[in-house]
Amino acid sequence: MIIQKIKNILTPKKQDPEVIKWFKDAFSYIKMYEKISDYNNAIYATRELILKTKSAINYNEEVLKKLYTMESSNIESVSRTAQEKIKKIKKIIDSLYLRLSSLDVILRKFEQKNENEKIKLKKEQDDFAFKKQSKEIKLYISKKDYLKALSISKKLVFDFPNNKEALNILTKVQSLHTKEKNNKEKESKKSEKIDQILWDLWVSVENDKNNEDNSLFWKLKSFFKNSSLNRQNKKDYIKRLKTFNDIEKMLIKTGTINDINEDTLKDNDIFQILWNGLTKDLEDFKIQWFNVFWKIIWKDKIIWDTFWYYKIDNERTLFYIWDATWHWIQAWFTVTMMTKLFFDLSKKIKSFQDLFLKINNWLKERIKWKMFITSIFFEWNHIKNSLNYIWAWHIPLLVYRKKENKVERVICWWLALWVRMINNVSSIKVKELEMDDWDVVLAYTDWIIEIRDTFGKMFWVEGLEKLFLTFAEKFSNPEKIFEQIMREVEEYNWSVNYEDDLSLIIFSRDKQKDLITNKEELQKILSETNSLKNIKNVQTKNKTKEDIIEQIKKERYERELKIRLDRLERLYKIWEFIKLKQDVLLYYREWYVHDKMKFYLKKAIANEQRVVIKKQEEKLQKKYSTLVDLYKKWEYEIVIKEAIDIIFKNWKI
């Protein structure tokens, strides 16, 4: 019991801040906050107490004014009572002023302590961050990843510009990085020098080591064979270097591939720059209701076949495959220009036929006629459910019909690109390729049908058609069909290196692909798009994920547009024309467009013009009044000068 009483005495009594009525209670809370170093709450409480004290002072001063009035009363008892109360109120006011001054001192003290705490906390955080980054730098130095360590060191100096240790760390890491870089450059130069010496001498180190103990006859035979191969390799090497240098000079000076001369720029080789960034497959290409697989097997790093795609809008997707005639650099450069041209024009031209016409005529005007491209352009419209194509003298398409279980050849037509100018877009015929579920299309370039077996017999379209029928019947996955066809082709060709690029596009029709089939998938789409719609209110029958997303975007756009139109209507009704104009222009920049917005903008501009005219008239009226006053005072020279000036500036009056 005694221990409990002592505990009760020592333990501070808890009190709800809402029921604090006396200064002592409030001040005890401030002291408590000071003890636990909660200076923010201490400052807030002190400021609140200062505010209450000032309110009390104001109240008592108002009471004092009334008492002074009562003191001057003719009634003696009233006057005497007022005098007594005046003395009490003055004492209270004096005590309140003393309390206010002490609270001001306490507030300044708390603010200073709070600032010191913040500085201390900031220093601790900086020290922790510095140690963490320093540790990370040491880790990368131990791994000899000096580039990463240098990057973090620069950030460390930026974060702590006044820290000498950070600068020392940066200096150390910089020296390590520079040392490593110099060593690599020395090793690289040494390696290049050795390789160049071996190349110039045509030394085959591996053959010399392996054939030391062979007979003289075998050594002579090997020597002549290697010499012949080396001479051919050297010719190819020189040819490539000249070609690269010619291309660079052509790009710098002429911008054309028609006239490559024999001059060379020996110190420049742009091949790696040209090659950088090219890909052989398109992993991210998808079409609604189709399974698609693309592949190019290149003969060399210089490409002659290519394909690409572009989604014009949410309805249409363009894609193509083409093969450039000739080989090597000129074919590569032609394909590069063609790809860039397709990409640029696809953004600007909406018509499928116009795109074909522009590409053909642009190339015809700039490239000599001996070079041309065979191609097929496809346009898929998932709203109309149609697959259209334009052909430019490409080899036949192979279409596997699942119902009939047969392969159909779609024969090519039209001329290859830029053989002649096309003057009228109506001469370009667009055809539709009808496909049912699980029908498969194979588009390809010519090398796959021109490969030969060991007896020189070509594979031809018949061989490819037979393989395509066999595997399209067994598999529905385009990638699987491709793998099986290429396995058979390589066996036929005995895995001999190709003499040309080999390209394939295989796509199969699947009307059930991408359709939403369960509520979980729909709920995921609604969550991703931050839609508040209920699942029950969304129609999913025969709709894909893209359709649902597009529907949600459209509804959201219409909802946001309605909100903006309502706001503009309110501004128009209350004649807030300046704000009306600003908001209309803002909504235009946000791609919200409606006929009403045009009406509001016209009204706002008209009102703006009326305001300008009104201000001009008011200004002229003031000047007129001033001139009349001057005229009455006989200041004729000033009046004449000002009147002429006004007439010249405002000639319409």
Distance CA 173, CA 154 (A): 10
CA 639 from centre of chain:
66
Q: Three-state SS for 96?
A: helix
Output DSSP code: residue 371: -
Strands 316-324 and 397-401: unpaired
Query: Looking at the domain 2-135, which fold is it?
Result: Helix Hairpins (1.10.287)
Output DSSP code: residue 544: B
* CA angle (238 as vertex; 237, 244 as ends), nearest 5: 90
Distance CA 418, CA 258 (A): 15
pLDDT at residue 385, rounded to an integer: 83
pTM beyond 0.85: the answer is no
Q: Three-state SS for 1?
A: coil
- Extents of the domains making up the chain: 2-135, 144-190, 206-247, 288-509, 514-653
Distance CA 242, CA 238 (A): 6
Query: Looking at the domain 288-509, which fold is it?
Result: Phosphatase 2c; domain 1 (3.60.40)
Could you tell me the two tokens for 626? 């001033």
Could you tell me the two tokens for 45? 């409480």
Query: Do the beta carbons of residue 140 and residue 146 sit within 8 Å?
Result: yes
pLDDT at residue 207, rounded to an integer: 42
CA gyration radius, the chain: 44
Distance CA 303, CA 286 (A): 24
Low-confidence ranges of the chain (pLDDT < 70): 1-24, 190-284, 298-305, 325-333, 336, 367-372, 393-394, 412-419, 494-500, 514-523, 525, 528-545, 648-653
Q: Three-state SS for 28?
A: helix
Distance CA 316, CA 293 (A): 19
Strands 502-509 and 316-324: unpaired
Strands of 156-201 (E only): list them: none
Q: Which residues contact 144 (CB under 8 A, 6 or more apart)?
A: 180
Distance CA 136, CA 138 (A): 5
Strands 386-392 and 305-311: unpaired
